[in-house]
Amino acid sequence: MAGRTVTRADLCEVVYQKVGLSRTESAALVELVLSEMCDCLARGETVKLSSFGSFIVRDKGERVGRNPKTGIEVPIDPRRVMVFKPSNVLRARINGIEVEDEA
């Protein structure tokens, strides 16, 4: 089930075609939105896009892992991870179920 990958350039092209901005303005708009999302996530804020989903930053504590090849225990440092939780609207759309838009 290898699908096509959507790139920044693809998003810029869609904005260009549907919104009517120039290609340069469309690229700047897409970059601005992605940059703002990245900045918010780096600060630990949740980014919630209605009818799409939420990007959540979670803290994971230190734990002990194990090298599967040697069996030696190795400490894993605490870190922050990003999790995406799709909205019910997106979930339904992926599964081909018609749902009224909540937004």
Q: What is the pTM of this model?
A: 0.76
Averaged pLDDT for residues 80-92: 95
Q: For the chain, percent helix, then strand, then coil, each to nearest 5?
A: 40, 25, 35
Please give the angle made by the CA atoms of 6, 11 and 12, to the nearest 5 degrees. 140
Residue extents of the structural domains in the chain? 7-43, 55-102
Label residue 100 by pLDDT band (50, 70, 90).
low
The reported pLDDT for the residue numbered 50 is 94
User: 103: helix, coil or strand?
Assistant: coil
Tokens representing 99 are: 């749902």
Q: What is the pLDDT of residues 53-65, one digit of tens each?
A: 999 999 999 999 9
Tell me the CATH number for domain 55-102: 4.10.520.10
